Structure 1
Amino acid sequence: MMAGLDPKELLELALLLIATGALSGFLAGVFGIGGGAILVPVFYECFRIAGVPLEVRMPLCVGTSLAVIIPTSIRSFQAHYKRGAVDMTILRVWWLPIVIGVLAGSVIARYAPERLFKFVFVMVAWSAAARLLLARETWKLGDDLPKGPLMRVYGFCVGILSTLMGIGGGLFSNLLMTFYSRPIHQAVATSSALAVLISIPGALGYIYAGWPAAARFPEVAALQLPFALGYVSLIGAVLVMPITLVTAPLGVKVAHALSKPALEVAFGAYLFIVGGRFVISLLGGH
């Protein structure tokens, strides 16, 4: 329990969160993922150490991750936009379906069992890793993104799954755009913009979703994690946010310096590793 942590443990927890912020901001710039794919697993370990009940631990990680992603995604988007790499046409088609998907995901988060969040995280992370590590150039759905209703369905799916996973949507949009023959660098840049659309309403949705949990587990809101709003830990967010703003532009520079194969292999390997953490948890380890 956080109340029972001695000063040394509190300091270690704070340093871990700050280091997490540095790495997540960097990866947000490199991969256009908003940093959530690293924030959620590390927040999970931090909140486990702090004694957060298992029943609310995963949604608390997801909600806090979405809150942290807000400034990171804005900073990452600005850096990519200045380079002219963001496809604004996709944003105009996707913004409304994505926001609707985020709202639907927030409602699900209010009632879903804790294991659902882990299943979604593993399913998406490993699917994306398989695509990036094993796929060939011939593996594609088309020569360009579809028009009409299918594109809007894709947007809705990006919104709802991103909200349940605590990420900025980069995993899904990167997959879709590369399967439709878009360059990985353009996919990364456009994903950074989608993260802005997902993180703001997503974080607000998790504040709403977490109010019933705060009533059932008052220690989440008062003892172990002071200043929590619903499923958003303000302490976690405040420690992580500032450093992400510093490291996100550095990640953007690295992304534009890497070759397409190197970027895809690095992203795929990372997703495989973080997905494995939650497989262990689902098999019985907390």
Structure 2
Amino acid sequence: MEIAYLFAALAGAGVAAGLLAGLLGVGGGIVIVPVLFSILLLIGVDPAICMHLAVGTSLMTIVATSMSSARAHHRKGAIDWALARRWAVAIALGAVAGGLIARFLNSQELSLFFAVVALSVAIYLSVRREGTQLFPSLPKGLKAQPIPVLIGFVSSLMGIGGGTFTVPVLSSCGYPVRNAVATSSFFGLLIALPGALAFMAAGWGDPRLPPLSLGYVNLLGFVIIAPLTTLAAPWGARIAHAIAPNILRRLFAVFLAITAVKMGYSALA
């Protein structure tokens, strides 16, 4: 019966993550990380590495999710490929750095980092008025490169696809929210693949790892979640193009806030 509950929880997380990936461009990690963290604790994995495993496994599943979500948005012509080319290298380098630095943080520190950053973004999205711009346009050239590096770095540490930060940044620079969501779904791939490989390297040979793990990536979680996120991501993308942008932004903020509070409580408890 416990195995049945485990599979049901992983499957539910996979479907929810896929919907969110297509709907909000977040790669689904905002759902996968807390669910995996709770499951790993429940089955007796050393608490000191539960968050590392949750983040690393989430990044690996986001590889498949982002590909599916980006493909669906590309069919609707919503991805800004010029921006994608300008930011690609910087965002991938940031993701690698985040994955390698994670080995020096404990599980509680990673959990609190996840909670604080997610809650901050949720508050910002909640108070920002529709149409408000912090900058007239997105910076270009070398002076803009710290932005994708930071997005890749923080997203990798949190095990998310980048939409949590890419969407607010682009929206604050005048990008339509649908285009911001669509482009961030592609950035999720650039973050997730190098980030997952870095988490594998960081945890390689750790004696506390559960079976079927490659470093801080658990293959069982990946095998169950990835196909379902890939299946559900196009459903979310279709919904994103059918609802009002302000509703999309508020949904994004609500999901972030709920997840942040849950993760923060778990870490402090």
Give TM class, smaller chain.
Answer: over 0.9
C-alpha contact 2:130 2:246 (8 A) present in aligned 1:
no
Matched, 1:34 2:32: no
Whichever residue aligns with residue 158 of structure 1, its letter is I
**Equivalent residue letter for 2:251:** A
The separation in 2 between residues aligned to 1:81 and 1:250, in whole angstroms, is 14
Matched letter for residue 44 of structure 1: F
Distance 1:114 1:45 in 2: 12
Classify the secondary structure of the residue corresponding to 1:257.
coil
Which residue identity does 1:241 align to in structure 2? A
Provide, for residues 89-139 of structure 1, a one-character-per-residue CA deviation record: whole Å limited to 9, x for no partner: 111111111111112112201222223312321222112211221112464
Superposition pairs of residues 133-282 of structure 1, within 5 angstroms: 133-137=126-130, 139-212=132-205, 214-215=206-207, 217=208, 220=209, 225-282=210-267
Q: Which whole-Å deviations, capped at 9, do the CAs of 1:52-108 have from their partners, x for residues lacking one?
A: 111100010000000111111001001101111001111111111111111211220
Q: TM-score, normalised by structure 1?
A: 0.91
Aligned to 1:76: 69
Partner of 2:15: 22
Residues 200-232 of structure 1: CA distance to partner in whole angstroms, max 9, x if unpaired?
Answer: 1111111101125x23x1xx2xxxx32111100
Report if the CA contact (8 A) 1:120-1:161 is conserved.
no
Counterpart contact for 2:116–2:264, Cα < 8 Å? no
Paired amino acid for 2:221: G
Q: Deviations over 1:7-48 (max 9, x none)?
A: x10111011101110110111000001100000011111111
Write the distance in 2 (CA, Å) between the matches of 1:116 and 1:197. Answer: 25
Provide the identity percentage.
38
Task: Specify the structure having the higher radius of gyration (Cα).
Answer: 1
Work out whether residues 207 and 232 of structure 1, in 8 Å CA contact, stay in contact via their aligned partners in 2: yes
Unpaired stretches in structure 1, ≥5 consecutive residues: 1-7
Which residue in the other structure is 1:111 paired with? 104
Show the counterpart of 1:4: none
TM-score in terms of structure 2 length: 0.97
Tell me how many residue pairs correspond in the alignment: 269
Structure 2 runs not aligned, ≥5 long: none
1:58 aligns with 2:43: no
Q: Distance in 1 between matches of 2:55 and 2:180?
A: 23
CA distance in 2 between counterparts of 1:13 and 1:138 reads 43
Q: State the alpha-carbon separation in 1 of the partners of residues 23 and 46 from structure 2.
A: 33
CA distance in 2, matches of 1:138, 1:200: 33
1:46 to 39, 44, 47: 39
Which deviates more from structure 2 when the two are superposed, residues 93-102 or residues 131-140?
131-140
Q: Which amino acid in the other structure matches residue 97 of structure 2?
A: A
